[in-house]
Amino acid sequence: MSTLAARGVGVTFGHAVVFDDVDVELARGETVGLRGPSGCGKSTLARVLALLHGPDRGHVSIDGSPIEGARYAVPVATRTRIALLFQSPRAAADPRLSLLDLIAEPLLATGTDRTTGRARARALADDVGLTEDLLERRPHAVSDGQLQRACLARALVHNPDYLLLDEATAMLDASTQALVAQVLIAYQRQHQAGVLLVSHDLALLDRWADRTIDWNELIS
């Protein structure tokens, strides 16, 4: 079975051990919830799984193959199989780029030409309900909900097998939250993607996750 897994992972910042010896597994096609108290390490674990932060102990594996290193040390074909959507689109978006270029950016960064990248970005923008008039605006000129839709489109631009959502709908109004969920569920069905939902929202986890992991289970 295709899986994204953390095996015995641990992260230390300075002298502070955030967590140690954590095992977690996400199979393609399933939706797993992750909940736990503020500050326990959920976002850090999501970043480790997204290959954005190398663990100090243990390793991440895809389909059973351990991944060496993190970020640009990981081959493009591997790291683009995982996408992470953050809670705050403002922190995640380059303020200098138009929404269209923001969505296209991961493609351009991995060698796709600008015309092809922007065409793909335009199609995804349409999928997430961003109208044409918004696409040449920069982040300061759109709402948080519109910017998060652009970040969602960007997260899908490489057709990832695994999507990690770190409180990604927490600051959205109910209608934008519903739209994001609808787009993700459609994407998941089409691509058999594995989805990890990091959330404090028990109603959302009940509704959406096939199973929910409590942080205490991971560290016991």
Ligand X SMILES: Nc1ncnc2c1ncn2[C@@H]1O[C@H](COP(=O)(O)OP(=O)(O)OP(=O)(O)O)[C@@H](O)[C@H]1O
| Interface ranges with ligand X (CB under 6 A) | 13, 18, 36, 38-44
Q: Judged by CB, which is closer to ligand X: 58, or 117?
A: 58
d(CA 172, CA 184): 15
**Do residues 132 and 50 lie in contact, with contact meaning Cβ atoms separated by under 8 Å?**
no
DSSP string computed for 105-145: HHHHTTT--HHHHHHHHHHHHHHTT--GGGTTS-GGGS-HH
Give least dist CB 68 to ligand X, A: 21
Give least dist CB 135 to ligand X, A: 31
Give least dist CB 19 to ligand X, A: 8
Give least dist CB 42 to ligand X, A: 4
> What's the helix, strand, coil split of the chain in %, to 5?
40, 25, 35
Q: Judged by CB, which is closer to ligand X: 33, or 41?
A: 41
Q: Judged by CB, which is closer to ligand X: 4, or 121?
A: 4
Residue where the block lists tokens 């243990």: 58
3-state secondary structure of 96: coil
Q: Judged by CB, which is closer to ligand X: 39, or 64?
A: 39
